[in-house]
Amino acid sequence: MSRIAYVNGQYLPHREASVHVEDRGYQFADGVYEVVTIVNGKMIDEEGHLDRLWRSLGELRMDAPMDREPMKFVMREVIRQNGIYNGIIYLQVTRGVAPRDHPFPKDVRPALVMTAKRLSMKKAAKTAEQGIAVITVPDIRWTRRDIKSVSLLPNVLAKQEAKDKDAYEAFQVDDDGMVTEGSSTNAWIVDQDGKIITRPLSNDILAGITRASLIAELEKRGLEIEFRSFSVDELHNAREVFLTSSTSYVLPVVKVDDHVIGNGQPGSISLDLREIYQEFMLAAE
């Protein structure tokens, strides 16, 4: 089955999908995006992702390209036309097409693009069983990381540095030596006392939807989470390390920089949390 993309009201073959050269997303990174996981044909945390999309639009003073219910219809149609059972759907909204000028253009319709692709659940499970390596890099991003902007160049550089060093992810570190988040994930540690720790929400990090759902599931079970910043030294010496994201779920980390975490195998707490999140996904309606 050939891939189908949605571009500004049209369903098109993926290879033919395009936007105008003066789309402000292309020229200014003047846009936002979301990625929603699809498991067993169902979107996971759909409402949470759309809530965050509308928040990002509001923070950038950008109109939504359509109302929420029509957007949900288009999302389902893109998934249907692509035959996705397990995978992701990508949504991108930009301020639209206008002659290149920095100030907001007047009377311009926001542009909306959606694509979808399949992902292998078996590959994700194998990665979790083995655990991953992470490196640390300086956090050089702007100060509004809470907005899910398409302006991702610092993230791209961090992810490429991780790839160059045979690592899965790069955890970014602020000027005070504290871990903020991964280039496309939220960062967590388990300290030597077994306490689960993650950075609190602020403009310093993105409010991860998987992060929020995992927190809610843990709170239902009466499991304590400590919301605070943690240092690189704490990261290196943690009992366990893991990350969360829409496409990685809960993923154990077994090495950070040159430091082996625990015994070099995925930790029991991280694996338990992954199982809890998977149960949550499978129960999605």
**Which residues make beta-bridge pairs with 38?**
43, 87
Query: Residues, the chain, total?
Result: 285
What phi and psi, each to the nearest 5 degrees, are found at residue 115? Answer: -135, 160
Q: Both tokens of residue 131?
A: 């655990």
Domain boundaries, the chain: 4-119, 124-282
What phi and psi, each to the nearest 5 degrees, are found at residue 90? Answer: -110, 130
Active site residue 148: yes
Q: Along the 285 residues of the chain, how does pLDDT read in single tens digits?
A: 689 999 999 999 999 999 999 999 999 999 999 999 999 999 999 999 999 999 999 999 999 999 999 999 999 999 999 999 999 999 999 999 999 999 999 999 999 999 999 998 888 889 999 999 999 999 999 999 999 999 999 999 999 999 999 999 999 999 999 999 999 999 999 999 999 999 999 999 999 999 999 999 999 999 999 999 999 999 999 999 999 999 999 999 999 999 999 999 999 999 999 999 999 999 987
CATH of 124-282, one of 3.40.640.10, 3.60.20.10, 3.20.20.10, 3.20.10.10: 3.20.10.10
CATH class of 4-119: alpha beta
**Which residues make beta-bridge pairs with 149?**
32
Whether residue 139 contacts residue 174, with contact meaning beta carbons closer than 8 Å, is answered with: yes
Whether residue 261 contacts residue 240, with contact meaning beta carbons closer than 8 Å, is answered with: yes
Taking the C-alpha atoms of residue 34 and residue 32, their distance in angstroms, rounded to an integer, is 7
Of 148, 163, 165, 220, which is the active-site residue? 148
